[in-house]
Amino acid sequence: MTDHAGRVALVTGASRGIGEAVARRLAREGLKLALTGRDRSALEPLARELGATAVIYDLTDAGAFVETLASIEVAVGPIDVLVNNAGIAESATLEDTDDALIERTFAVNVMSVFRLCRALVPPMAKRGWGRVINVASNAGLTGYAYTSAYCASKHAVVGLTRALAAEFARTGVTVNAICPGFVDTDMTVRAIDRIVAKTGRTREQARAALEAQSPQRRLVTVDEVAHAVWSLVPHEARGIHGQAIALDGGQVLA
Ligand code: NAI
């Protein structure tokens, strides 16, 4: 048996996009899964297919957090691998970035990550093994115009990753962030919609503009992100710790 088979993973935002691909990959590698999402009609069939436990939960609902997490651990056991994937991205000029937009963005992209780490990492440390993989963004490593709330939230996730890596370095828990460039998901489709609406470009032109941000002139696929997440799980990856790993065709050079 490999060291990770039978480990329990929690993937947030697993109903579509990157989260779904991560769930499929971890299931293929033999992990036991709990999947959270808000879209019951997408999450439940996926969970059935993967033999996973589906938990319908809005991550911004702090009041239901403790009870929800307890019910997850009753269903699947203690969480060994936490994949903080759920996130939202809206764009606006700085002047139009009101408090509500900042708070909405931070509630999902930062507070939910903090809360899950605070609840799950100390028990992982006590058990002597754990993996935290935060799906941040290369917007956590560099700035993009018209996305100040999103960029600030993803920089916060990278900062949290580094702080926890320092705090838990000697416990057997690793904490890392994956920082993709534009990935071919609904989130990027919505970015294309916004470019079309604001600039009058065609969809093809808008998509090409996003592809052109990568030196590889393409969008990242969800399977590439899922592979990167998976690659941090095995025992042999234990030295990769506190990293913010860019997965963007070389767009943001370290
Ligand atoms: P998506 O929009 O296709 O999926 C996001 C997932 O997060 C969905 O399952 C959604 O239901 C869930 N989610 C959002 N708010 C939630 C809430 N309040 N409670 C529970 N679940 C919630 O997006 P995608 O592309 O799959 O993104 C996944 C992660 O990857 C996000 O954190 C995003 O910021 C990050 N990312 C995406 C990139 C892209 O170009 N698509 C690039 C870099 C990072």
Helices (H) and strands (E) in the chain, counts: 9, 7
Nearest protein Cα to ligand 1, atom 23: 187
Pocket test for ligand 1, best of 18, 91, 154, 211 (most atoms within 8 A of CB): 18
Please check whether residue 18 is in contact with residue 85, taking contact to mean a CB–CB distance below 8 angstroms. yes
Read out DSSP for 1-23? --SSTT-EEEESSTTSHHHHHHH
In whole angstroms, give the CA distance from residue 6 to residue 171: 20
- Considering the domain architecture, whether residues 191 and 111 belong to the same structural domain is answered as no
Tokens of 116: 């899950």
Rg value, the chain, Cα: 18
Report CA(85)–ligand 1 centroid distance (Å).
6
Residues flanking ligand 1, CB < 6 Å: 13, 15-19, 37-39, 58-60, 85-89, 108, 135, 137, 180, 182-183, 185-188
Phi/psi for 60 (5° steps) reads: -85, -5
What is the model's pLDDT at position 65?
96
Q: Please tell me whether residues 214 and 226 are part of one structural domain.
A: no
Q: Are residues 34 and 77 in the same domain?
A: yes
* Catalytic residue list contains 150: yes
Q: Count of domains in the chain?
A: 2
Q: What does the pLDDT read at residue 2? A: 60
Q: Ligand 1 pocket check: which of 88, 188, 221, 222 to mutate, most ligand atoms within 8 Å of Cβ?
A: 88
253 in any annotated domain: no
pLDDT value for 1: 44
193 and 85 in one domain?
no
pLDDT at residue number 130: 98
**What pTM did the predictor assign?**
0.97
User: Residue-wise pLDDT tens for the chain (254 aa)?
Assistant: 466 778 999 999 999 999 999 999 999 999 999 999 999 999 999 999 999 999 999 999 999 999 999 999 999 999 999 999 999 999 999 999 999 999 999 999 999 999 999 999 999 999 999 999 999 999 999 999 999 999 999 999 999 999 999 999 999 999 999 999 999 999 999 999 999 999 999 999 999 999 999 999 999 999 999 999 999 999 999 999 999 999 999 999 85
Q: Which of 40, 17, 15 is nearest to 191 (CA)?
A: 17
Cα distance between residue 38 and residue 180, in whole Å:
23
Closest ligand 1 atom to Cα of 139: 43
Q: Does 252 fall in a domain?
A: no
Same domain, 187 and 92: no
Same domain flag for 27 and 143: yes
Buried b vs exposed e over 152-189: b needs ≥16 C-beta within 10 Å?
A: bbbbbbbebbbebbeebeebebbbbbbbbbbbbbebbe
- What is the domain range of residue 13? 8-181+221-246
